[in-house]
Amino acid sequence: MSHWLTIFTQNIILMFQDLWAHRLRASLSILGIGIGIFCVISVQAMIDSVQSNIRQSFNRLGNDVVFIDRFPWSKESDEQWWVFLKRPLPAFKEYKALEAKLHTADAVAIRVVMFGKEIKYENNTISNLVIAAPTHQFGRILNIETEKGRYFSPVESHLGNNAVLLGSNVAEKLFPQLDPIGKTVLVLGRKMQVVGVLKKEGKSILGDGFDDVVLMPYNYLRHYANTNDESFMPLIVVKAAEKVSIEQLKDDITSVLRAQRKLRPDEDNNFALNQLSLLTSLVDGIFIMINAAGFLIGIFSLLVGGFGIANIMFVSVKERTGIIGIKKSLGAKRRDILAEFLLESIILSILGGILGLAFVFAAVAFGNYYLTSFELFVSIKNTYFAIIVALFIGVISGIIPAIMASRMDPVEAIRQNF
């Protein structure tokens, strides 16, 4: 054991002496490996961070919810959009039919939205807002929570009272120094009472959630507008009852909607039943392509760095031929020589891997300083992967020069010095 430790220590000292003597050449090779590791791991870190943020946003909505719309959340929506555009919009009467006949649903709701609206309190006005008008169960289906006040009561939702809920950002801007609960605001030119402020969700890759939204009862808006109009973008949302599979729920929804729309047995569905798994699979497909592109770029950089290390090792073997001959004549075995040069190659490559990880952590810190929508991070898995890749490149780059050195004839090796 002490013999191997002595050889190992001597090899490390000799390696660093050699690297210092050829520091420019070594630095360029280490930099090549570092850039390759940076390309591979930075792309993977970005993908992991974005995926984590999106999944957290999706988990809030749950996996037992079906969204009824004209367009499917899949690639075919891009290919056949003109066909889907001709489909009828989800209608209030269909929502009522689903609510009455769908026994496998825990809750059913419909919501409409308006863009570019404003809300006013005394002399303070906020413009370019999103106003959403849902039926009562919408809040329970999407797990909407209030920070102050309360959600709409069943009576307010049913009668369509002039009550509003403010998103967290809306409340902060409209009432910077006041408690908004009970205050009267002007929305769509009409007086409405603030009954609650929604819990702050914060920014995410998918947007701000309900932080910049004003909610009013669906039945209130129905008094003044045609909520079935295309401009309101109606959407029906259905949550599965306990122990009911999403597929069973979708089958039951299909039966009710086909009957409501009087579709013949030979006619295709003219509606789309979407769920979050469709969206996540679409997003995952995009990330796979991005990851592949980043990996290809990284591979080219790693190849350049690997060839650089291999070149250093070939030169080192040639420069130290005489030393190799002396060591072998004094009793050094082939495995000792092999280990010496292979270790040198591995350490060079690992130094490049550490440099690449340092670049990644610096880029993540820089990105988090400016990004507010989500947080970047480097997982332990990616850190291990970077070191393993560097180790692999070191072995591949150094194995041939190390074998050449270990197979040298000691007499011929010593003779080359004279």
Question: Residue 198: helix, strand or coil by DSSP?
Answer: strand
Strand partners, 238: 66, 108
Please give the angle made by the CA atoms of 352, 354 and 357, to the nearest 5 degrees: 110
121 and 238 in one domain? yes
51 and 69 in one domain? no
Strand 124-134, strand 105-121: pairing: antiparallel
192 and 317 in one domain? no
| Closest CA relative to residue 33, chosen from 350, 246, 362 | 350
**Which residue matches tokens 């709701």?**
109
- For 152, half-sphere exposure in the C-beta direction (CA atoms, 13 angstrom radius) is 30
Containing structural domain, residue 93: 65-274
201 and 153 in one domain? yes
Distances (CA, A) of 199 to 78, 157, 158, 178, 210: 35, 20, 24, 17, 9
Last residue of a domain, one of 255, 274, 293: 274
C-beta separation of 284 from 48 below 8 A: no
138 and 20 in one domain? no
Strand partners, 192: 185
296 and 185 in one domain? no
Residue 22 sits at φ, ψ, to 5 deg, of: -125, 50
193 and 293 in one domain? no
Question: Residue 237: helix, strand or coil by DSSP?
Answer: strand
Q: How many CB atoms lie within 10 A of CB 379?
A: 14
93 and 230 in one domain? yes
Q: In total, how many domains does the chain have?
A: 2
71 and 16 in one domain? no
Question: Structure tokens of 98?
Answer: 């689903």
Last residue of a domain, one of 244, 274, 304: 274
220 and 156 in one domain? yes
Last residue of a domain, one of 274, 304, 322: 274
69 and 53 in one domain? no
What does the pLDDT profile of the chain (418 residues) look like in tens digits?
Answer: 556 666 667 667 766 776 677 677 777 778 888 888 888 888 888 878 877 777 666 666 667 889 999 988 776 555 577 788 889 999 999 999 999 999 999 999 999 999 989 999 988 999 989 999 999 999 988 888 899 999 999 999 999 999 999 999 999 999 988 999 999 999 988 999 999 999 987 665 555 578 889 999 999 999 888 888 888 999 999 999 988 998 999 999 999 999 999 999 888 899 999 887 666 666 666 677 777 776 777 777 777 778 878 887 888 788 777 777 777 777 777 887 787 788 888 888 898 889 999 999 999 888 888 776 667 888 888 899 889 988 998 898 888 888 888 888 777 767 765 5
Per-residue pLDDT at 2: 58
69 and 27 in one domain? no
Q: Measured on CA atoms in the order 370, 144, 160, 196, is the torsion positive or negative?
A: negative
